[in-house]
Structure 1
């Protein structure tokens, strides 16, 4: 797996990112239940449930980085390891957070998720979200950071023009997900109300948010999208939106579908456009960099081989530190002996004050400082 912590302009192709809000009463309980069930079924190799404060104090596999800390509002950190196709290992880390504002009713508990595989991510792999969250409509873990928007469902655009434009802006600027806007040419039946995202491959399904414009919203939605995002919405069609900053290689015409039949059948052209867009290098959200850093530098769920490597690395580190301390002490002794000889010559062979050897906690002190202090004993009006 990639271990570099340098800032990225795009999300690495080995990484899966997600964030959202859980509106239920006990989100951590839902996570634990799902992890225990998956471990019992042999779906995951193991998991950890960590207190953020204790996790920050513990010794990690990789060098510490301050940005790897979860922050004061973090509630719990969960880690899980699983293997996907061809035995590829995936490490996933979920952090839950306190609501940003208690004044907002039903704001829910925020969460962020980062997963990284040993090679480039494939859409057919299982969604990392279902490692921690049960893929059930009865558990409300899939609410977007953008208010009123949810994964795994159809989100109808607001009727009010101001609310509609604000929603489009928030989706473009605040979300980590891919957004698709579909216009209903006519009111669909129950089969047509099924989300288009349900037809997507498993790993892509929880990265796409579906927004719907009703038949009478054709003009207002098209006008609002052109004004806010510079993208039009064809009547009875769909368009894949680009986030801000814009995805390199994005062209509105390229990711626009003129006709989408909402009759319960698979919209092959739209699905192809979504997958094509998802394959483009996605810009790294500003607040996602720290989440990826925490996954790479704040990882605790080690395999026996990794624990052995870690232990050997610690032994090597301590040996080098001891060697440096010993060398520093030897240099100090050599400097002290030279100083004694110089003092004896300066005093005509008289008794010279001895230079004290450093205490155990001062072994790394500079010999020059000690010599300077000793020579100061001989300063005076006649010296």
Structure 2
């Protein structure tokens, strides 16, 4: 199965992630009303709506993002901080990304952050998968065309945001069998699972459409799709369920497969790294104690910077004083020293060498003739 050459950072064990699309209306109004209700009921401690933000990209402005922050406690002592960002979608809807992080590794039995930000009413359409438009809270029947089903699976598993489960009905079910598997899942998983349902006559076409993903669905059974990228430790046999009884009873084996899949270490989904960084580094909803601690940290940081600047200034002053002292000492020594005669380029010969050179010159001269004396005449 092909894998990406780019190594993605892994999803921290303390983090809960979800992504979706709000199909109609204004998502900000829905979030605001829902969070106010959660605060009144004390399901959350507090929330904050940040001013609208947008970034410039060349000559065009990027879509403005509306951000809400919320915090609550689980197990009475563990604090959870969560952030949801909403941006305009291409089809008139609004895309949203929700990131939550706890002070301890995440427990799937804790409340779903999506269930705290969004209302649970079924008529509020916030629970759509952003890629394929699938529902996060209802069963999604497969298309009748096999090629369309193949294309649906190929697009749905990209990005790694949701857990996709495919269930095949061995026979046509009644209302008791039309209950989503999310009903029996731990509450923290209910808004991360997309359930696909195949009719009895779609079994052959279903498995044909799944060949690219390397999995098959047993007749009357189910499988948890691997996703892209495939999590470490995934094996198709381990996450395949031979029989799912759609009679209203709990599908124990399927619930176990989904829970085990959710526990696998997985890379961060596409676009999640920036949202997680914003949650950690651009958090605004502080308690009084946290604000005080933050101010103390800023004071300590400024004090360290001032101390470093003072030390640097003192060292520079000391170095300048020593340089002046060295220059003054050099000037004094130069004035006190006697003026030395500059050496000539021509070497000075010794007295013996001068006498030798004189004799040599005399030997080389022609001798004058001697005049005869009177007697010789």
Question: How high is the TM-score relative to the length of structure 2?
Answer: 0.80
CA-to-partner distance for each residue in 1:347-376, whole Å, 9 max, x for gaps?
669xxxxxxxxxxxxxxxxxxxxxxxxxxx
1:148 aligns to 2:138 (yes or no)? no
Pairing 1:259–2:243 present? yes
Q: Does 1:211 align with 2:218?
A: no
Decide which structure has the larger Cα Rg and report it.
Answer: 2
- Tell me, yes or no, if structure 1 residue 290 matches structure 2 residue 265: no
1:78 pairs with one of 47, 64, 68: 68
Shift of 1:296: 1.3
| SS in structure 1 at match of 2:96 | strand
| Aligned-partner Cα distance in 1 for 2:289–2:62 | 32
CA contact (8 A) 1:52 1:76 kept: yes
CA distance in 2, matches of 1:137, 1:237: 28
Q: 2:36: which partner in 1? A: 36
Alignment of 1:211-360 (within 5 A): 211-225=196-210, 227-344=211-328
Aligned 8 A contact 2:81 2:102 in 1: yes
Give the unaligned 5+ runs of structure 1.
Answer: 1-6, 57-70, 350-383
Q: Is the 8 A contact 2:132 2:156 kept in 1?
A: no
Instruction: State the match for 1:49 in structure 2.
Output: 49
* 8 Å Cα contact 1:145/1:175 also seen in 2: no
Greater RCO, CA 8 A, separation 6+: 1
Preserved contact between residue 237 and residue 259 of structure 1 (Cα < 8 Å) = yes
Q: Distance in 2 between matches of 1:281 and 1:147?
A: 24
Q: Please state how far the C-alpha of 1:283 moved relative to its aligned partner.
A: 2.5
- With structure 1 as the length reference, what TM-score do the two structures score? 0.79
Q: Which runs of 5+ in 2 are unaligned?
A: 1-6, 56-60, 334-377
Per the alignment, in what secondary structure is the counterpart of residue 189 of structure 2? helix
Distance 2:157 2:189 in 1: 18
The separation in 2 between residues aligned to 1:224 and 1:217, in whole angstroms, is 10
2:4 matches 1:14: no
What secondary structure sits across from 1:159 in the alignment?
Answer: coil
In 2: Cα distance, 1:258 partner to 1:280 partner? 21
Q: Which string of whole-angstrom CA distances, capped at 9 and with x for unpartnered residues, describes residues 308-332 of structure 1?
A: 2211111110001111111122122
| Worse-matched range after superposition: 268-277 or 28-37 | 268-277
Work out the number of aligned pairs and report it.
323
2:175 is paired with a residue of what secondary structure? Answer: coil
Match of 1:373 in 2: none
What's the C-alpha RMSD, in Å, of the aligned pairs?
Answer: 2.2
Match of 1:93 among 61, 73, 83: 83
